[in-house]
């Protein structure tokens, strides 16, 4: 059978309401364009003792980062989930976006969730200086073998993965509930079909390796009938793993070939199945992204504002629908500009008064 980590990822998807591990990222953009950032996580005893191979963060701890152990384990409320934090990684960037995160070796597929593209635009407007900050997390390039668009429209994706409330405007609670139930059913159809397709790819790979051309053709003929009988219409439950699909193939075609294939190659088949679906690991993580800006915030798409900080939740679900951009615009008052303007007005007024008297 597959590893516990993979099973945990599937269970996570079944839950849909909470994530396995949260990180707290707190950033302060300064008026000179620099930024200080601190990322909080929970490290095990080995990491706290100095073993960097037990890195609890999703990114590499390069020379620019300073690590600090918290005085005690802190329990932090992350969108309703209580998360333990005991270590902090901090650094100061000379300018926003100058040195992005680096993914862990062997986990480059996590890049969309780990490495945002950050930009800061500073605009001088005499009386005010405006700051426009954006952090863009890229859309997941690997969403499995089945396009989401076959099951969910773009509007439904925005509702399900981003919580777009505009599409629910004007609907009462009953109507909203019915719409969400319908979208959920479509989501699980997409998920079940994706798992099934991955298993079929794995089984086909091992049958082809054996050179059994007759069973290769049989697989092609049985693909849709097997899905229609055992998977179509299911909202959840059977995760479509290779072992189960092999059993259904034998039951449908009255053979033992596919079950025997799994008995002989089960470990390798499960490992290949995991590798093909490794992107599911991303759904076990989420980042609470907190940001402070210079001056007064005048516009933002942040979900929350608390104690002067803007707060977003970033997870892989939000990256299924497309690029996810965190945006905020703030402004600071140029008090000296008001003073200079007042002096200019007084000076010009005085000159005009002298000319008038002459």
pLDDT tens, position by position, 322-344:
999 999 999 999 988 888 888 88
Identify the burial level of 123 via C-beta atoms within 10 angstroms of its C-beta, where 0-12 means exposed, 13-18 middle and 19 or more buried. Answer: exposed
Please provide the average confidence, as pLDDT, over all residues in the chain.
Answer: 89
> What is the spatial distance between Cα 237 and Cα 11, in angstroms, rounded to a whole number?
10
Q: How far is CA 66 from CA 39, 60, 62, 185, in A?
A: 10, 12, 9, 46
pLDDT exceeds 50 at position 16 = no
Residue 11: band (very low, low, confident or very high) from pLDDT cuts 50, 70, 90: very low
pLDDT, residue 260, reads 96
> Does 18 have pLDDT greater than 70?
no
Question: Of 1-10, 75-84, 124-133, which one has max mean pLDDT?
Answer: 124-133
Q: What is the pLDDT, as a whole number, of residue 100?
A: 86
Confidence grade of residue 319 (pLDDT, cut at 50, 70, 90): very high
In the chain, the percentage of residues whose pLDDT exceeds 70 is: 92
* 203-236 pLDDT, tens digit each: 999 999 999 999 999 999 999 999 999 888 654 4
pLDDT band at 169 (very low <50, low <70, confident <90, very high): confident
User: CA-to-CA distance for 58 and 85, rounded, in angstroms?
Assistant: 14
Structure confidence at residue 239 (pLDDT): 65
- Per the listing, tokens 């269970």 go with 11
In angstroms, the CA 25 to CA 21 distance is 13
- Residue 85, exposed/middle/buried by CB under 10 A (0-12, 13-18, 19+)? buried
Report pLDDT for 5: 41
DSSP conformation class of 170? T
- The more confident residue out of 9 and 252 is 252
Residue extents of the structural domains in the chain: 19-142+282-338, 184-276
Q: Mind listing the pLDDT tens digit for each residue in 88-113?
A: 999 999 999 888 899 999 889 999 99
């Amino acid at each position: 059978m597959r590893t516990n980590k993979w099973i945990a990822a599937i269970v996570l998807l079944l839950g849909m309401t909470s994530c396995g591990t949260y990180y707290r990222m707190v950033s302060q953009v300064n008026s000179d364009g620099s930024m200080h950032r601190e990322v909080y996580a929970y490290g095990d005893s080995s990491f706290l003792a100095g073993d960097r191979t037990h890195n609890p963060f999703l990114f590499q701890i390069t020379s620019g980062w300073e690590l600090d152990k918290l005085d005690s384990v802190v329990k932090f409320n992350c969108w309703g989930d209580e998360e333990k934090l005991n270590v902090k990684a901090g650094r100061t960037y000379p300018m926003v976006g100058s040195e992005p995160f680096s993914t862990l070796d062997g986990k480059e597929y996590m890049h969309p969730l780990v490495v945002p593209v950050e930009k800061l635009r500073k605009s001088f407007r005499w009386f005010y200086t405006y700051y426009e900050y954006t952090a863009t997390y890229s859309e997941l390039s690997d969403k499995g073998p089945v396009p989401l668009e076959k099951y969910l429209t773009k509007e439904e994706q925005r509702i399900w993965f981003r919580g777009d409330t505009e599409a629910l405007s004007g609907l009462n609670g009953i109507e909203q509930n019915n719409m969400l139930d319908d979208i959920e059913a479509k989501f699980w159809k997409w998920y079940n079909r994706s798992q099934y397709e991955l298993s079929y790819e794995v089984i086909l790979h091992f049958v082809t390796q054996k050179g059994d051309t007759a069973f290769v053709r049989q697989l092609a003929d049985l693909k849709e009938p097997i899905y229609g009988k055992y998977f179509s219409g299911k909202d959840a439950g059977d995760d479509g793993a290779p072992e189960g699909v092999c059993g259904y193939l034998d039951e449908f075609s009255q053979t033992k070939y596919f079950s025997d294939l799994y008995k002989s190659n089960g470990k390798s088949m499960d490992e290949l199945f995991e590798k093909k679906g490794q992107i599911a690991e991303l759904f076990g993580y989420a980042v609470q992204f907190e940001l402070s800006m210079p001056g007064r915030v005048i516009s933002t798409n942040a979900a929350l504002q608390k104690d002067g900080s803007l707060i977003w939740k970033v997870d892989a679900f939000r990256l299924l629908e497309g690029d996810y951009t965190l945006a905020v615009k703030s402004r600071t008052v140029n008090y000296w500009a008001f003073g200079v303007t007042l002096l200019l007005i007084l000076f010009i007024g005085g000159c005009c008064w002298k000319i008038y008297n002459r």
